[in-house]
Amino acid sequence: MPDLHFTSATASPEERSAVDAVAARAERHLLLPTLHALNDRVGWLSEGALNYVCERLNVPPAEAYGVATFYAMFSTKPRPPQLVHACDDIGCRNAGAEQLIGALETSGAHVLRSPCLGLCNRAPAVLTTNAGPEPGAMQIAPASPDAVRRQHPSGANDTIGGSMIRLLQRVTSGDPESLDDYRSRGGYEALKRAFELGSARVIEEAIASNLLGRGGAAFPAGKKMEAVAAAAGRPHYLVCNADESEPGTFKDRVLMERDPFAVVESMTIAAFAAGCERGFIYVRGEYPLAAQRLRHAIDACRNGGWLGDDVAGTGFSFDVEIRRGAGAYICGEETALFNSIEGKRGEPRSKPPFPVHAGLFGKPTLINNVETLVNLPQIVLHGGAAYAAVGTAGSTGTRLFCLSGNVARPGLYEVPHGTTLGTLLEMAGGVAEGRALQAILLGGAAGSFVGPDALSMPLTFEDARAAGATLGSGVVMAFDDRIDLRDIVRRIARFFREESCGQCVPCRVGTIRQEEALERAGIDRALRNDIARAMRDASICGLGQTAANAIASANGILRVLPTEAVP
């Protein structure tokens, strides 16, 4: 703990200039961007620099320290400017992550182990960060010691496939840095159509489409839009949740990196419908390319009159700001994300009140996942009924699935809801090397394992629910018969223990006890069930409520718990 009464006298000139560049006004919500600026410039947050931030932003030192220590990408202890964040999570550990980390450490690199970096389709993955006057960050996947030494991104592209390409139509071709190119491919036709229809009709079409949120909770997108539009209090905010940290998920990364203008246009359509004046996109801190492409797209749209005080000459006013996360899975939870933007620790709030009434800065807020939003242009252009004609009645439209693990062609696949799990797996070439399938993790660490008997399951919200599973964030990670599922389950348990924000006891203690239950014998089934039940029923957010799911489901496929604990 630093001396919180200490002054900023020891802040160096470079630390001061990094802070001054961002902390132009004494506003608390600038805390996270200011800490990022310092971290990017110097590589860590010294006492003197933190105190200088507090002076500039008028934030109590204890609170600034609480925020600085909340995020994995920041350090309040000195560390070298060059770091290698190496993924040792479930997808990469089967692609040689441990050997890679060993080799990197032997070569003298400063390695920090990281949870999933959203590059599982190109495992093993690392993110290198270089602090300095010209800071840089690079995703390297697949990574090798040589590629890391040469700072070479490896040139691998994300494999894109599927049986009905709608959301991914511009992802395989086109220039993600050209607004003209985007417009030549139909870009901004949907926003123009939205202006013609008017906000009430856009909401009607969104409701008729029965589009359900793709961020994990499957809430009807049109209904949420309608509630924000009707909410009292101004301003209304639109927040795009681009924190994508669910292990195994990389769909939003691909959309942002390869079709950033579509994300900006879709946000503008949603903002128009719900009457939002200001938008934020909260991009995962480990996604430097996505942030760079979005920043470029936002600037180009502002210059082209598609954002700002008078969007496309219609009198509608809307602008977007990027906020970078800093390495905290829990900040994907909507209310934790609001706190993070506001410059507080990223801890979830109790609900109600719900974001549609009191969200960001206490104002009515429409928050949607990236993939949810990029469905809007086709709904506006072709109508909600046409959208709902694809898929099933309960699960309309197409869906992005992130295929990784032991599949022949890992990548991002778009299929209509209702496609079976087996068909999807076949699209990706089936299990790699013709091995037998042991299990599939569906929906991410917060999801569940299913066995080969689930291959006939149609991929819909309702079929997944009926099978006791979830589509979650679209993760489909396959494990062949050689994989030690116990090791995978242990890594998931560690993930939840490390990512619990610690606010509520059932989650804070339960995630520790759950991990212990996998490590040692002697915890009986009743106690394990008690822990799972306490976490599910008494945790205030989805992290604690779902932390036991994958482990319980794996136990059904393979006896992952010590012998005494097996039912």
Ligand X SMILES: Cc1cc2nc3c(=O)[nH]c(=O)nc-3n(C[C@H](O)[C@H](O)[C@H](O)COP(=O)(O)O)c2cc1C
Output the CA torsion 294→118→173→458 (10° steps).
Answer: -120
The residue (of 406 and 549) whose beta carbon lies closer to ligand SF4 is: 549
Q: Is 443 in the site for ligand FES (CB under 6 A)?
A: no
Q: Which does 244 bind (CB under 5 to 8 A by kind): ligand X, ligand SF4, ligand FES, none?
A: ligand X
Which amino acid, residue 290?
A: A
Contact 445, 248 (CB under 8 A): yes
Q: Is 311 in the site for ligand FES (CB under 6 A)?
A: no
The residue (of 87 and 366) whose beta carbon lies closer to ligand FES is: 87
Neighbours of 7 (CB within 10 A): 12
Considering the complex, what minimum distance in angstroms separates the CB of residue 432 from ligand X? 27
Q: Is 382 in the site for ligand SF4 (CB under 6 A)?
A: no
Contact 90, 441 (CB under 8 A): yes
Phi-psi region of 62 (alpha: psi -120 to 50; beta: other; left: phi over 0): alpha
21, 156, 200, 217: residue in contact with ligand X (rule CB under 6 A): 217
42, 111, 543, 565: residue in contact with ligand X (rule CB under 6 A): 543
The residue (of 126 and 446) whose beta carbon lies closer to ligand SF4 is: 446
Q: How many residues bind ligand X (CB under 6 A)?
A: 22
Contact 77, 48 (CB under 8 A): no
19, 87, 148, 366: residue in contact with ligand FES (rule CB under 6 A): 87
Helix axes 260-274, 189-197, angle to 10 degrees: 10
Q: Give the contact letters, 44-83, x = binds to ligand FES (CB under 6 A), - = no.
A: ----------------------------------------
Q: Which does 411 bind (CB under 5 to 8 A by kind): ligand SF4, ligand FES, ligand X, none?
A: none
- Within 228-257, the residues that bind ligand X by CB under 6 A are 241, 243-246
88, 334, 347, 515: residue in contact with ligand X (rule CB under 6 A): 334
Contact 267, 279 (CB under 8 A): yes
Tokens of 311: 């969007």
- Judged by CB under 6 A, which stretch of 36-44, 142-150, 332-340, 508-516 contacts ligand X? 332-340
Q: Is 104 in the site for ligand FES (CB under 6 A)?
A: no
Contact 126, 151 (CB under 8 A): no
The residue (of 219 and 361) whose beta carbon lies closer to ligand X is: 219
Question: How far apart are alpha carbons 454 and 145 in whole angstroms?
Answer: 38
Question: How far apart are alpha carbons 348 and 330 in whole angstroms?
Answer: 8
Comparing CA positions, the residue from 149, 170, 81, 161 lying closest to residue 121 is 161
The residue (of 118 and 213) whose beta carbon lies closer to ligand FES is: 118
H/E run at residue 401: strand 398-405
CA angle 500, 506, 511 (to 5 degrees): 45
97, 379, 543, 561: residue in contact with ligand SF4 (rule CB under 6 A): 543
Output the CA torsion 70→73→79→82 (10° steps).
Answer: 180
H/E run at residue 278: strand 278-283
Contact 409, 159 (CB under 8 A): yes
15, 40, 47, 89: residue in contact with ligand FES (rule CB under 6 A): 89
- Judged by CB under 6 A, which stretch of 43-51, 72-80, 518-526, 539-547 contacts ligand SF4? 539-547
Q: Is 539 in the site for ligand SF4 (CB under 6 A)?
A: yes
Question: How far apart are alpha carbons 520 and 532 in whole angstroms?
Answer: 17
The residue (of 246 and 480) whose beta carbon lies closer to ligand X is: 246
Q: Is 339 in the site for ligand X (CB under 6 A)?
A: no
Which amino acid, residue 144?
A: S
- Within 239-298, the residues that bind ligand FES by CB under 6 A are 247
Using the CB atoms, write b or e for 391-405: b if 16+ within 10 Å.
Answer: bbeebbbbbbbbbbb
Comparing CA positions, the residue from 31, 34, 19, 21 lying closest to residue 60 is 31
Q: Which does 367 bind (CB under 5 to 8 A by kind): ligand FES, ligand X, ligand SF4, none?
A: ligand X
The residue (of 222 and 348) whose beta carbon lies closer to ligand SF4 is: 348
Q: Which residues bind ligand FES (CB under 6 A)?
A: 87, 89-92, 116-120, 123, 125, 247
Q: Which residues bind ligand SF4 (CB under 6 A)?
A: 330, 348, 500-504, 507-508, 539-541, 543-544
Q: Which residues bind ligand X (CB under 6 A)?
A: 213-217, 219, 241, 243-246, 330, 332-334, 367-369, 372, 541-543
